[in-house]
Every structure is written in C-alpha cells, then in structure tokens.
C-alpha cells in the first residue's frame, strides 16, 4: 500500500465499496436500513451477502464470523468457512440468511440467568449500521447478540436502543426550535485509550501479570513518574515502530487513529481516534484494544490494558468524549453563532447537567469493576469516586446569570450577542481544562473520564444516552405545550440550573475538602462495585431503562448478577494468584536468602574462633533476623488470606459475596502485600524471584 488514502478502510465493506458493488436499488435499500433502521428484504440480503463474500475472497478471506460483544466485555467470534458443497466439488457461499442471523454455540457466555441451559443458544443479528470488515483472513460481520426471548445478551443491543431513545427525544427538541430538516440525532464518541507496554521477557516471569493483568506485589522503584519526563516525551524507537504498525492496521479497518503519545507513567501511552457515531466508536474501541495486544507481540512486548497494572504510578483510563450530532452536521453541544443556536445549545447543555445529577449513581456504576475500582477510589490520579461536572468559570457565570436574571458580564472573551429574550450573552470558547474532574465540558463536547482502560465504552454510553434522552423528554413535554416558547424555555433553564447546580464543581477533585463538600451537597460517593451495584435496581433506574426499552427488569437483574459475579471471580483469581506466588516463589526465596545470611554469619563466626580475630557479622545477623521475622509474618498473612478465600465459598448471595471479597479478601491481600514489599526492599536482587517494578516499568528501551 503506498498512501494512507489507499490503505484507509481497505479492509472495510464501506460506503464506497457498497456503492461500487451493489445494484442501485439494493444499495438504496441498505442505505435506508442503515439510516432509518428499516428492514431488508430477503432478496436484498442475498445480494448483499454475495457481494460481501466476493469482496472478502478477493481480499484473501476464507471464513466469515458474526462478530459480537457478549457481557464478558470483550468480543467473540466463531469462524465458518465460505465452503459449501456443489456437485462433485465445492463452492464459496454466503447467503442472506447467514449474513442476517447466526446461532453461535454460545452457551458458556454469561447471561445472568436469562438463558436456561436447554435454550442455551442465543442468536446474533446483523447490525448494518456498523460496516463489515476483514480481520486476519476472516470476514467479520458486526452483530447484536440476543436470547430467543429477545433479551439482550450483549453490550451492543442496549447501546443501539439507547441511541434510538436519544434520537427520538432529540428530534422532538429540534422541531421545537423550528428545525425541520434534521432526520437523526446521534451520540458521537471519541474514546482516548491509555495502555502500558512492557517487554515480554519480564512479563513472562510475573504470574500476576499473566493471570490477572496487574502486579499484586512490588515495591516502588527509586524513580517513578515524578520527573514528568515520560509524559509526551520522545517516543522510543521500538514503541514508535509499534505505533506505526498499529496505526496502519487500524487505518486499514477504517479506524481513525489520530494521536499517539507517551502518558504520565513510565511505559504508559495513549491513542486517540477521531470521534464517530457511538456504536461504531464502541466497535472500533474493542478492535483497537484487540489489535494493540496483537501488534505489541510482534515487537516482543505485551500491551497491558488493566486500569492499574502498577501501584504507585498512574493507572489507565479511557476518556469518553461525548456529544450529539445531527445528520445535517450540527454539533448540538456547540454554542453556535446565532441567538437560536445559543438557546438550543443551552437546552442541550442543561439536559446533560440534569442527566449527570439525576443518574450519578448509574454513571458511577457503569464504570465500576474489580479492575477499575483499583484506580477510582480517590487515588491521586484518576478522578475520585464522586461524580461531579466541571464546566469552567465562564459557563458557570452564564448559568448564574440565567438563574439570577442577571446580564452576563464576562468581558475578556469574545461574546455573542444573544437576541433571544432574557437569555444572556455567553462566551464562545470554554476549553479550559480541569484534569481532576470526572466529567468536563470542553467547549463543544463532554469528556467523561472515569471509564477504565479495559472496559467496553458501551455501558457508560448507554447510561449517558438514556439519561440525556430522559432530560430531553421532560423538556419536550413542557415546551411542546408552551404558549410562549421563549418565556417557557427561560423558566425551564432557570429551574434546571438551580435544581442541579450541586453537581457542578470547578475546583480540585483530588483535594481532601471536596469529599466533605460533596457530602454536604448530597452527592454520592461510592467507592467500590459492591457499594454501587444495588443502585441498578433502584426504582427510578429500573423505570428509566424500562421507559426507553433499554433493559427490562429481567435484563437489569441479569446484568447486576453478571457484574457482581465477575467482580467476585476476579478478586478470587487475584487472591489465589497471590497465594501461589507468595507460597511458591517469594517465601521460599526469602527463606533461602536468610539461610545464606546465616551461613555467612556462621562462617564468619567459626573463622573468628579459629583465627582469634573478631570478624563482625552484625549486618548478616540483623538482616537475617529482620527477614525471618517478616517472613513469619508474611507466612501468617498468607494463611489468613487463604482462610478468607475459603470462607468466601460459603456465601451464596451475590451481593454479600462481592461485599465479602471487597471488605475481607482485598483487605487481606493488601496486608500480605505490605509485608512482602518490605521483604523485597531487604532482599538481594539476585535472590528475589520475580522482576522488580523498575525492571518492568523501564523494560522497553
């Protein structure tokens, strides 16, 4: 491939390919299925399937798969070859039926009890709004995954449903502003992806990285990220080559990888794509994570996507940049130039303000997991567990002036003259950043910064889309009945601002006083998944999801069940890995080292005796004694952890079990780690059985 233009999307059955390869009528049918969600006729499906297959075979593909996103959070695929018998030989085939619907043998995926084993086979249904693509010689057809009863068993179906809700309510508002042209309102998302790269040779020596994706032991190295010399620093040649290779793979799949840079921690990097429609962004982000891992291996590196692979240095997140866009190209969170645009912007802005306040519990829950909880419990890096919104001083001033019927008086920035009665002028640009805020307005979009690096972005976007749809629905209900639109709009904005002002916080989210202040404001502060899981079932939340047909109550119950059980399973695996490493690697090593010290001391003592010279062995004795004491302690702490894990087996209630893992097992793990990390600091590096933090964090040269 010579140019980016030729490379870009070359493995995607995209608009251009469809137009070129499909008869006009069929192309038209597919277009309207994509744009308006209409059903395809079986004949059209056959023609599209056949064209897709011919195109894929020309590109070297031999198999196809329905590519879907079960609730494990990663993607799944089952490959079928195009092979079909024909006379005495074979032919290559893909039928419309095979394109539209599949039945993966998927009985092992979590369903939270939605699927009894006798009806284990969920089915996959083609999502024509996300293009098919070729990956490793396989034609991948993006699909949704449902049970026979129609219950969603995946991450994509609810996302599509939430986008539909947002579209319906967004259009109601646009009509009120006299917009007759826009046919759709879609959520747009740009997901910035953080990750670590470490050398494969050190990774292979750490069972914790292999089994759990994070280090469970490890004393801090003398140098971490304090010099800020890694952040946006020069990219090392091996990493630069990886990034180039990665970009090319992503581009060929039509993924607009745009920015690549070094992040705050040593070995940490970030990739940002250009934003796109939310469901496509979700598909693309899943692919990006998968391909990052694959490409890293080519360079003898391993890509770590865990939210907190290393204690004491920055963890990885996934900033979810979110806005609303019409098919006519309007960004509804852009303040705009005209008074009408300003007013419309304010309404959509307030809809987000209210949504974030009303559904802070769901937003928090949507980013909670065993791994992301390691990052979001108030450590001095990621946003704390309290959801609040940063809007910048000027937007704050604008909202205050509406709330208090004052003129808006910021002088320094360009101001729009707003003609709509009683609405103030306000600044065009509020791109100031507050890096400590979990949810920021950044001029023409919001940035939700709590999602974890490993998570699918579907969950947080389902909540955002649905909660904003609900605000918009409330506003449309009022405004559609208004006699005087401008007056009613003004009153409504005023109400929303004063009712939800508490969620706005422009200060330092890491400050210790924020927690106190947030408590006074009545904001939630849920530190772990077991804290926030019950809120899924709060009547207001069940009602929200039911109203917009995102999840039935049964689907919500299934999802809570899956979240809780995956939390407990992950902590259990971590605890067992820790025990294994402590008992079979670390304790034997430190005991050997204490033995060596004792031998040396003995040798010195007998030499003293035989030579009559006093050879001191203070170092050996003191160290052997300290190490032995700590070793005993670690041995006992490992036993307590073992006991805690055993106790857990007796608990059957999912909520109680997750709570137990959080309060007891994680606590026992922390204790054990403190003892072993102290041992690491005292032990000869030659004797320490696993690579140290410094060896891992600075392993890629």
Residue ranges binding ligand ADP (CB under 6 A): 188-190, 192, 272-275, 319, 321-323, 331, 444-445
Please answer whether residues 495 and 108 qualify as being in contact, where contact means their C-beta atoms are separated by less than 8 angstroms. no
Does 490 help bind Mg ion (rule: CB under 5 A)?
Answer: no
Nearest residue to 216 via CA among 653, 574, 605? 574
Check residue 144 and report its DSSP letter: E
Tell me how far CA of residue 244 lies from CA of 133, 247, 265, 659, in angstroms. 21, 5, 21, 44
Task: Annotate each residue in 498-537 with x if it binds Mg ion (CB under 5 A) or - if it does not, as one string.
Answer: ----------------------------------------
Instruction: Provide DSSP, 204-268.
Output: TT-HHHHHHSS-S--PPPS-SSTT--STT-PPPHHHHHHHHHHHHHHHHTT--EEEEEE-SSTTE
Nearest residue to 393 via CA among 432, 356, 424? 432
How far apart are CB 258 and Mg ion at their closest, in Å? Answer: 12
Question: Long-range contact list for 233-241, CB < 8 A, 24+ apart?
Answer: 233/262, 235/260, 235/261, 235/262, 236/700, 236/701, 238/299, 238/301, 238/700, 238/701, 239/197, 239/269, 239/700, 241/299
When the beta carbons of 274 and 609 are compared against ligand ADP, the nearer one is: 274
Instruction: Provide DSSP, 620-673.
Output: HHHHHHHHHHHHHHHHHHHHHHHHHHHHHTT---HHHHHHHIIIIIHHHHHHHH
When the beta carbons of 389 and 550 are compared against Mg ion, the nearer one is: 389
When the beta carbons of 319 and 673 are compared against ligand ADP, the nearer one is: 319
How far apart are CB 435 and Mg ion at their closest, in Å? Answer: 9
- Name the one residue in this structure whose structure tokens are 């309404």: 347
| Number of residues this chain uses to bind Mg ion (CB under 5 A) | 1
Q: CA–CA separation, 20 vs 28, rounded Å?
A: 12
How far apart are CB 548 and ligand ADP at their closest, in Å? Answer: 21
How far apart are CB 284 and ligand ADP at their closest, in Å? Answer: 11
Binding partner at 323 among ligand ADP, Mg ion, none, C-beta below 5 to 8 Å by kind: ligand ADP
Please answer whether residues 315 and 382 qualify as being in contact, where contact means their C-beta atoms are separated by less than 8 angstroms. yes
What is the pairing mode between strands 268-273 and 133-135?
Answer: unpaired
Binding partner at 331 among Mg ion, ligand ADP, none, C-beta below 5 to 8 Å by kind: ligand ADP
Q: CA–CA separation, 442 vs 444, rounded Å?
A: 6
Q: Give the burial string for 167-194 (b: 16+ CB within 10 Å, else e).
A: bebbbbbbebeebeebebbbbbbbbbbb
When the beta carbons of 324 and 662 are compared against ligand ADP, the nearer one is: 324
CB-CB neighbours of 113 under 10 Å: 11
**Binding piece for Mg ion, criterion CB under 5 A, among 113-121, 313-321, 459-467, 674-682:** 313-321
When the beta carbons of 199 and 247 are compared against ligand ADP, the nearer one is: 247
When the beta carbons of 267 and 440 are compared against ligand ADP, the nearer one is: 440
When the beta carbons of 231 and 510 are compared against ligand ADP, the nearer one is: 231
How far apart are CB 642 and ligand ADP at their closest, in Å? Answer: 44
Nearest residue to 551 via CA among 146, 187, 189? 146
When the beta carbons of 217 and 439 are compared against Mg ion, the nearer one is: 439
Choosing from 318, 319, 375, 425, the residue that interacts with Mg ion (CB under 5 A) is: 319
**Binding piece for Mg ion, criterion CB under 5 A, among 284-292, 319-327, 364-372, 612-620:** 319-327
Q: Which residue is nearest to ligand ADP (CB)?
A: 190
How far apart are CB 367 and ligand ADP at their closest, in Å? Answer: 17
Q: CA–CA separation, 116 vs 388, rounded Å?
A: 40
- Name the one residue in this structure whose structure tokens are 């809570």: 560
Binding partner at 274 among Mg ion, ligand ADP, none, C-beta below 5 to 8 Å by kind: ligand ADP
How far apart are CB 274 and ligand ADP at their closest, in Å? Answer: 5
Q: Which residue is nearest to Mg ion (CB)?
A: 319
When the beta carbons of 203 and 441 are compared against ligand ADP, the nearer one is: 441
Binding partner at 189 among Mg ion, ligand ADP, none, C-beta below 5 to 8 Å by kind: ligand ADP
Nearest residue to 222 via CA among 660, 681, 608, 622? 681
Binding partner at 696 among ligand ADP, Mg ion, none, C-beta below 5 to 8 Å by kind: none
CB-CB neighbours of 254 under 10 Å: 19
Binding partner at 440 among ligand ADP, Mg ion, none, C-beta below 5 to 8 Å by kind: none
How far apart are CB 61 and ligand ADP at their closest, in Å? Answer: 30
Binding partner at 591 among Mg ion, ligand ADP, none, C-beta below 5 to 8 Å by kind: none
Would you state the structure tokens that stand for residue 95, as one six-digit string? 């039928």
When the beta carbons of 273 and 424 are compared against ligand ADP, the nearer one is: 273
Does 269 help bind Mg ion (rule: CB under 5 A)?
Answer: no
When the beta carbons of 146 and 356 are compared against ligand ADP, the nearer one is: 356
Handedness of CA 256, 76, 305, 192 (dihedral sign): positive
Estimate the crossing angle of helix 156-176 against helix 278-298, to 10 degrees.
140
Which parts of 460-568 are beta strand (E)?
none
Binding partner at 190 among ligand ADP, Mg ion, none, C-beta below 5 to 8 Å by kind: ligand ADP
When the beta carbons of 70 and 315 are compared against ligand ADP, the nearer one is: 315
How far apart are CB 650 and ligand ADP at their closest, in Å? Answer: 47
How far apart are CB 457 and Mg ion at their closest, in Å? Answer: 14
When the beta carbons of 196 and 693 are compared against Mg ion, the nearer one is: 196
How far apart are CB 358 and Mg ion at their closest, in Å? Answer: 25
Q: CA–CA separation, 517 vs 280, rounded Å?
A: 39
Please answer whether residues 161 and 458 qualify as being in contact, where contact means their C-beta atoms are separated by less than 8 angstroms. no
How far apart are CB 214 and ligand ADP at their closest, in Å? Answer: 25
When the beta carbons of 161 and 319 are compared against ligand ADP, the nearer one is: 319
Instruction: Provide DSSP, 497-521.
Output: HHHHGGGB--S-TTSHHHHHHHHHH
Beta bridge partners of 325: 186, 331
How far apart are CB 447 and Mg ion at their closest, in Å? Answer: 5
**Binding piece for Mg ion, criterion CB under 5 A, among 28-36, 91-99, 262-270, 318-326:** 318-326
Would you state the structure tokens that stand for residue 193, as one six-digit string? 């992806």
Which residues of the chain form contacts with Mg ion (CB under 5 A)? 319
């Amino acid at each position: 491939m010579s140019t980016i233009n030729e490379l870009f999307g070359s493995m995607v059955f995209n608009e251009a390919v469809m137009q070129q390869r499909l008869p006009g009528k069929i192309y038209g049918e597919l277009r309207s299925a994509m744009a308006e969600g209409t059903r395809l006729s079986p004949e059209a499906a056959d023609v599209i399937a056949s064209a897709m297959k011919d195109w894929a075979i020309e590109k070297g593909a031999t198999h196809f798969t329905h590519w879907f996103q079960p609730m494990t959070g990663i993607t799944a695929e089952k490959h079928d070859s195009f092979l079909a018998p024909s006379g005495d030989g074979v032919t290559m085939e893909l039928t419309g039926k095979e394109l539209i619907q599949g039945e993966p043998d998927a009985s092992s995926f979590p369903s939270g009890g939605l699927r009894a084993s006798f009806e284990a086979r969920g089915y996959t249904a083609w999502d024509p709004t996300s293009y098919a693509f070729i990956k490793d010689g396989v034609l991948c057809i993006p699909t949704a995954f449902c049970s026979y009863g129609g219950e969603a068993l995946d991450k994509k179906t609810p996302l599509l449903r939430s986008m539909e809700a947002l579209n319906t309510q967004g259009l109601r508002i646009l009509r009120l502003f006299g917009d007759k042209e826009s046919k759709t309102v879609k959520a747009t998302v740009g997901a910035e992806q953080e990750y670590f790269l470490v050398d494969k040779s050190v990774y292979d020596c750490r069972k914790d990285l292999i089994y759990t994706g994070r280090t469970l032991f490890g004393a801090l190295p003398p140098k971490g990220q304090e010099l800020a010399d890694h952040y946006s620093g020069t990219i090392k040649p091996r990493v630069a080559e990886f990034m180039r290779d990665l970009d090319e793979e992503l581009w060929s799949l039509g993924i607009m990888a745009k920015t690549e840079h070094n992040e705050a921690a040593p070995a940490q990097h970030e990739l940002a794509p250009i934003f796109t429609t939310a469901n496509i962004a979700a598909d693309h982000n899943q692919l990006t994570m998968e391909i990052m891992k694959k490409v890293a291996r080519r360079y003898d590196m391993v890509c770590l996507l865990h939210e907190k692979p290393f204690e004491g240095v920055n963890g990885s997140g996934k900033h979810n940049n979110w806005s609303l866009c019409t098919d006519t190209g309007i960004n509804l969170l852009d303040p705009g130039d005209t008074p009408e645009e300003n007013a419309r912007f304010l309404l959509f802005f307030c809809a987000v303000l209210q949504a974030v306040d009303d559904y802070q519990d769901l937003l928090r829950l949507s980013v909670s997991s065993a791994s992301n909880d390691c990052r979001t419990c108030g450590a001095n890096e990621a946003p704390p567990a309290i959801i609040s919104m940063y809007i910048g001083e000027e937007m704050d001033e604008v909202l205050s002036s509406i709330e208090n019927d004052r003129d808006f008086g910021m002088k320094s920035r360009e101001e729009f003259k707003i003609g709509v009665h009683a609405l103030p002028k306000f600044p065009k640009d509020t791109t100031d950043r507050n890096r400590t805020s979990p949810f920021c307005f950044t001029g023409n979009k919001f940035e939700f910064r709590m999602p974890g690096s490993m998570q699918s972005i579907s969950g947080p976007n389902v909540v955002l889309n649905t909660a904003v749809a609900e605000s918009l629905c409330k506003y449309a209900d009022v405004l559609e009945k208004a006699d005087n639109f401008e007056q009613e709009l003004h009153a409504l904005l005023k109400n929303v601002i004063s009712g939800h002002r508490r969620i706005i916080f422009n200060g330092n989210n890491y400050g210790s006083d924020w927690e106190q202040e947030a408590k006074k404001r009545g904001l939630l502060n849920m530190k772990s998944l077991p804290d926030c899981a019950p809120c899924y079932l709060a009547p207001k939340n069940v009602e929200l999801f039911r109203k917009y047909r995102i999840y039935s109550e049964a689907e919500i119950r299934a999802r809570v069940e899956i979240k809780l059980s995956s939390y407990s399973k992950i902590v259990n695996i971590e605890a067992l890995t820790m025990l294994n490493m402590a008992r079979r690697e670390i304790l034997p090593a430190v005991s050997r080292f204490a033995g060596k010290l004792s031998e040396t001391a003995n040798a010195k003592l007998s030499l003293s005796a035989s030579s009559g010279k006093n050879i001191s062995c203070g170092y050996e004795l003191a160290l052997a004694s300290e190490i032995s004491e700590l070793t005993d302690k670690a041995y006992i702490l490992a036993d307590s952890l073992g006991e805690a894990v055993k106790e857990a087996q007796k608990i059957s209630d999912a909520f109680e079990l997750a709570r137990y893992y959080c309060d007891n097992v994680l606590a026992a793990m922390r204790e054990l780690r403190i003892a072993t990390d102290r041992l690491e600091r005292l032990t000869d590096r030659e004797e320490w059985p696993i690579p140290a933090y410094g060896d891992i964090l600075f392993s890629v040269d």
